[in-house]
Amino acid sequence: MTLPLPLTPSSAPSAPLDDVPLAAKGDRRAFERVYRSHVDRVFSVCVRMVGDRVRAEELTQDVFVRCWEKLPTFRGDAKFSTWLHRLAVNVVLNERESDARRRSRHAGTAEDLDTMSSEAVRPLPVPGLSLDLERAIATLPAGARRVFVLHDVEGYTHEEIGTMLGVTAGGCKAQLHRARMLLRRVLTQ
Amino acid sequence: MNDRDWNEVEPEELERIAAEAARLPRLSPSHDLWPDIAARLGPQERARPIPGLTSSHVRLATAASLLIAATAGITWSLATRGDDAPVVATSPVPSTRANNAADAVGLVRPASMDATVATLDREIAMLQAIIDDRRRALDPRTVAVLEENLALIDRAIAESRAALAADPASRFLATQVARAYTSKLTLMRDAATLPAGT
């Protein structure tokens, strides 16, 4: 797992409001402006959910390609940024399922489902570096990391996360508590 | 994590972690992802069924569809020199998951660059005839966007071909040319089947 290095906060200006409908009609220049306005937010959720910069950049590309393909179906019922964010989460979660199937085929093991076992916190990727929350998140087991990022960073409700992940809201709450406990442990080491 | 950990933690500590998480800044990729994304952009999904098609529209759409079907299997090629075997692209439809140009164009066996370009130019000319025929049926703003995008792609084709002419052994440049042509064909096919008034 590579670290999601803290970088500069986004300073990209918002795209003009009419760029989305233009892009939906096939205007690639408008879509590039849409990309530049939203890439940091999409990348942020990707990198925090997968904990790997390189994979997150690949997934960010996938998100925008998928966005381009689906854009004509965007009806404007929700804000575009909300729609795109949900699309990004779905791409990451679908990737998780693909990865689980791949691992199951090749190694005969299921994905880390992150039950409430006493699984140890993974070793820090770069020993000796001072810890901050960003690095601590990257050390979480995959399931706990996804729930923590979706709830505490991105602001989804337990019910919404439960629907996305196919678990109950109660299971989501338990997973979140575990994630916070693991983070506290790492941050106070 | 042991029982002592679970029991000793104050709820406020966990709330502080949650509050800090909500304030995390946005992160940026290590480089501009747009060029790779742009190279992968293909056809868009249709928003809704096409309403009110006239018989002439149906004929045009049918002609476009037949053209697509007829040309989908065309083997077009980009020859390279050097150690690598020259390459041929068997399908102009890009893979949405392609991470490299070879995946995008389906590299197989060699043919001449001239023959490739001639095949592509024929297909482009046929599509252009359909688009010209439909021009008045389309929204002028759509036509303007279409022409602007085609001009951009044409510039990309010209630049890629010039670069390839200067470095004919470059597999990368050869696939860049193929990708640019793929983009143009995809866009033209989309334009040829757009519903009236779009």
| Contact assessment for residue B74 and residue B132, using Cβ atoms and an 8 Å cutoff | no
Tokens 């690598």 locate to B84
Q: Would you place residue A100 in the very low, low, confident or very high pLDDT band (cuts 50, 70, 90)? A: low
Please give the pLDDT value at position B115: 67
Number of H helices, E strands in chain B: 8, 2
A44: nearest Cα among A114, A140, A123, A149: A149
Please give the pLDDT value at position B83: 36
pLDDT surpasses 80 at A24 = yes
Please give the pLDDT value at position A89: 94
With an 8 Å Cβ cutoff, are B142 and A25 in contact? yes
pLDDT in tens, A26-55: 999 999 999 999 999 999 999 999 988 999
Average of per-residue pLDDT values in chain B? 66
Please give the pLDDT value at position B34: 95
pLDDT surpasses 50 at B81 = no
With an 8 Å Cβ cutoff, are A40 and B27 in contact? yes
Please give the pLDDT value at position A147: 94
pLDDT in tens, B31-51: 999 999 999 998 888 765 444
The span from the CA of A46 to the CA of A6, in Å, is 14
B131: nearest Cα among B178, B44, B37, B67: B67
B134: nearest Cα among B44, B49, B70, B58: B58
The span from the CA of A29 to the CA of B146, in Å, is 11
Best mean pLDDT range from B65-74, B85-94, B151-160: B151-160
pLDDT surpasses 60 at B18 = yes
Number of Cβ within a 10 Å radius of residue B123: 22
Query: How many A×B Cβ pairs under 8 Å?
Result: 134
Please give the pLDDT value at position B177: 75
Please give the pLDDT value at position A10: 40
In this structure, which amino acid lies at residue B75? T
State the alpha helices, DSSP H only, in chain A. Answer: 19-24, 28-50, 53-70, 80-107, 133-138, 142-148, 158-165, 169-187
Number of Cβ within a 10 Å radius of residue B31: 9
Best mean pLDDT range from A166-175, B153-162, B167-176: A166-175
Within its chain, how far is the Cα of B1 from the centroid? 49
With an 8 Å Cβ cutoff, are A180 and B27 in contact? no
| Contact assessment for residue B106 and residue B91, using Cβ atoms and an 8 Å cutoff | yes
With an 8 Å Cβ cutoff, are B14 and A177 in contact? yes
Chain A's closest residue to B48, CA to CA, is A73
Best mean pLDDT range from A9-13, B5-9, B15-19, B97-101: B15-19
With an 8 Å Cβ cutoff, are B22 and A152 in contact? yes
The span from the CA of A9 to the CA of A44, in Å, is 10
Please give the pLDDT value at position A157: 93
Q: Would you place residue B116 in the very low, low, confident or very high pLDDT band (cuts 50, 70, 90)? A: low
Percent of chain B, pLDDT > 90? 7
| Contact assessment for residue A49 and residue A149, using Cβ atoms and an 8 Å cutoff | yes
Please give the pLDDT value at position B188: 81
Question: What are the distances in angstroms from CA B196 to CA B57, B67, B129?
Answer: 8, 19, 16
Q: Would you place residue B123 in the very low, low, confident or very high pLDDT band (cuts 50, 70, 90)? A: confident
SS3 B181: helix
Please give the pLDDT value at position B66: 52
The DSSP 8-state label assigned to residue A25 in this structure reads T
With an 8 Å Cβ cutoff, are B41 and A44 in contact? no
The span from the CA of A183 to the CA of A137, in Å, is 7
Q: Would you place residue B78 in the very low, low, confident or very high pLDDT band (cuts 50, 70, 90)? A: very low
Bridge partner residues of B77 (DSSP): B88
Lowest mean pLDDT segment, chosen from A157-161, B64-68, B139-143: B64-68
Contacts of A114 (CB under 8 A, 6+ apart): A141, A142, A143, A144, A175, A178
B123: nearest Cα among B152, B148, B89: B89
Q: How far away is chain B from the Cα of A165, in angstroms, using its nearest Cα? A: 20
- Concatenating the DSSP letter of every residue in B54-119 gives -HHHHHHHHHHHHHHHHHHT--EEE---SSSPPEEES--SPPTT--SHHHHHTB-S---HHHHHHH
Please give the pLDDT value at position A67: 96
Q: How far away is chain A from the Cα of B48, in angstroms, using its nearest Cα? A: 8
CB-based burial label for A111 (10 Å; 0-12, 13-18, 19+): middle
pLDDT in tens, A50-93: 988 999 999 999 999 999 999 998 888 788 999 999 999 999 99
| Contact assessment for residue A152 and residue A142, using Cβ atoms and an 8 Å cutoff | no
pLDDT in tens, A105-134: 554 433 344 433 333 334 334 333 335 888
Chain B's closest residue to A44, CA to CA, is B27
**In A, which residues are within 8 Å of B36 by CB distance?**
61
Q: Would you place residue A98 in the very low, low, confident or very high pLDDT band (cuts 50, 70, 90)? A: low
Mean pLDDT calculated for residue range B12-20: 86
**In B, which residues are within 8 Å of A25 by CB distance?**
142, 145, 198
The span from the CA of B104 to the CA of B92, in Å, is 8
Lowest mean pLDDT segment, chosen from A2-6, A33-37, B86-90, B188-192: B86-90
Chain A's closest residue to B190, CA to CA, is A26
With an 8 Å Cβ cutoff, are B14 and A182 in contact? no
With an 8 Å Cβ cutoff, are A61 and B20 in contact? no
- ipTM over 0.85? The verdict is no
What string of H, E and C letters represents the secondary structure of B131-142? Answer: HHHHHHHCCHHH
| Contact assessment for residue A10 and residue B28, using Cβ atoms and an 8 Å cutoff | yes
Chain A's closest residue to B20, CA to CA, is A133
